[in-house]
Amino acid sequence: MTQDRHSAGHKAGTVRIALLQGRDQGSLESNLERTEGAIREAAKGGAQIVCTQELFNLPYFCREQDPQLFDLAEPVPGPTTEALSSLAGELGIVIVAAVFERRAAGVYHNTAAVMDADGAYLGKYRKMHIPQDPGFEEKFYFTPGDLGYKVWETKFGKIGVLICWDQWYPEAARMAALSGAEILFYPTAIGWLPKEKADLGEAQHNAWETVQRGHAVANGCYVAAVNRTGTEGETEFWGQSFVSDFYGQVVARASIAEEEVLFADCDLKALEDTRRIWPFFRDRRTDSFDGLSRRMLD
């Protein structure tokens, strides 16, 4: 299913992005095939930057602790990024793809790679904040990132990439924005557990969306969060991928349960104009922020 809430043409200063909300197809090969098809569909719809969900070519394997699952990892750059680099060059689009990176025996990362519109591999971001919750056993699998908060100058704009649990940290969004990011992409895998959904499901989703819309406002940028959908084990991924503009307005939102290519047009000229009238970066009291590098202030 494709949702396009914007006109087919591009206005001057706009960038069309597409978020690929999907479910696990049962194998690495099937997931890659499905994603390649969705990327082609996005490009046909005019998308210039396309972003996958977190761990897009795998099931969400972090539901349990199993050392054999480290075999799912691959080097970055590696086979998947090479295939997507070729596709990016063929279609003339930027691709952001989130995969399970094998760095060395015993050292693995939750990583997003960026391929430019000429097929060039621009680099990668390693997830900095690693959660640990029932059904989300990520500290067992992922070493915290050590590449900092990365921003890339692509053919179609300056983008930052953060991953899932990073969404909750305003410092991460701020660091990327201070490096010039105009659009922040968040590949994501977040969902409900059965025992929580009835009492907390709506509140959890509201918090997730609200904090990211706040990042967009505070940093004068677009925020694009692309989530998984479908049920894996007991985890019901809640979909609802969305794009927020710099006023915190949701300009595009996907459904809970459907696989979708979600389009949004990002007006980078309007973004610049808004940063001029709301100069949050200019007025930051950087001399008063020393405590941010400490765990607590007591």
109 sits in the region (left: phi over 0; alpha: psi -120 to 50; else beta) called: beta
Strands (E), 47-93: 49-52
Annotate 222-260 with three-state secondary structure. EEEEECCEEEECCEEEECCCEEECCCCCEEEECCCCCCE
Q: Would you say 190 and 135 are in contact if contact means Cβ atoms under 8 Å apart?
A: no
What SS3 state is found at 44?
A: helix
Tell me the H-state helices in the chain: 28-44, 79-91, 138-141, 170-178, 194-219, 268-277
- In angstroms, the CA 127 to CA 130 distance is 7
Q: Which of 146, 148, 183, 185 is nearest to 164 (CA)?
A: 185
| Residues designated as active site | 54, 127, 164
For 43, half-sphere exposure in the C-beta direction (CA atoms, 13 angstrom radius) is 16
d(C-alpha 298, C-alpha 292), whole Å: 12
